[in-house]
Amino acid sequence: MTVTGTRNAPDVVDVVALGESMVTFLPARPGRLADVPAFHRSIGGAESNVACALAATGHTTRWVSRVGADGFGDHLVEAIGAYGVDVSYVRRDPSRPTGVYFRTAGDRADDTHEVAYYRAGSAASAMSPTEVDLEAARAGRVLHLSGITAALSPDCLDLMRELTAPRPGRPLVSFDVNHRPGLWGEGQDPDVLLDLARGADIVFVGEDEARQAWALHGARAVREALPEPEIVVVKQGKGGAVAFAKDTDGPCEDADGTATFVRALHVDVVAAVGAGDAFAAGFLSSTLRGLPVRDRLRHGHLAAAATLTTPGDLAPPPPRTLADRLAALDDPAWGRLRLGPGWTDADAEAAEEARTP
């Protein structure tokens, strides 16, 4: 096994993201996988998506993972590194391949959406407490993880348990549940995701996936099942998102002052894949900046809107000046916002017009 540029003492970064990334093949046109004649190569991975989005907003980030010693592994390391993400702790495995997957163009929640994964026995599925650099993984202000990793193999689950276990001096642990039913085989219990979430400091979970994985109905039930994390963000699709915080400083939805709700934006959706990762990146970015809970949710929605209005899993986030200005709108103005393709270029276009005589 070889290691890409291992360092003796990892630099501390804003966010470390650990998890599998795969080469993604996006359809050249809508339709069933059986009917699509060609695909465009891209990259996909919940954790690396967050690292790339945060790097694009100016944060220092690191991706920790394993890929095959193959061309697809080369592509992932180079493409993710091109965003400014530190990839020097990605291990290369000569005996296991890099995972790939194909998907249709539709929304994952749509019945016509298809995904074909080729990840069994992948290099990333061999991640374990001894097969990743734990020091590099913990050398961040935030460590971002997802439930996808826990489903890849027993070794991966052991790694997740190690990283979410309480220990002195650990970073702030962010956990996106990301329940994928197709990854949980016979004998595997998605209730382990509930246990992992209890060990995190910030948890992101969709109301629909909490219902499917844990039979929990409603945001309040999710918070009651997860009393330990400092913040639990329950995403409610097109309705919005609610954050339950132990010490919230924003406007509250509930009389007890623990829940902050922010409605979702009106968005002309191009593709829905990757929006959850973008939301997490926007929320974490504003968390690192010390913004109020309401503004963290708004920045999450804005980052998600950037991805929703582009065809791929990753999209350039809105410039910070634009995002800050929109996040500061009063509630009626926020409710009137409607964003479509190209909206993140608004500041650049306005500046160019100002420069043009």
Residues designated catalytic: 277
Residue with tokens 């959850």: 276
Contact call for residues 125 and 157 (beta carbons, < 8 A) = no
Q: SS3 letters for the chain?
A: CEECCCCCCCCCEEEEEECCCEEEEEECCCCCCCCCCCEEEEEECHHHHHHHHHHHCCCCEEEEEEEECCHHHHHHHHHHHCCCCECCCEEEECCCCCCEEEECCCCCCCCCCCEEEECCCCCHHHCCCCCCCHHHHHCEEEEEEEHHHHHHCHHHHHHHHHHHCCCCCCCEEEEECCCCHHHCCCCCCCHHHHHHHHCCCEEEEEHHHHHHHHCCCCHHHHHHHCCCCCEEEEECHHHEEEEEECCCCCCCCCCCCCEEEEECCEECCCCCCCHHHHHHHHHHHHHHCCCCHHHHHHHHHHHHHHHHCCCCCCCCCCCHHHHHHHHCCCHHHHHHCEECCCHHHHHHHHHHHHHCC
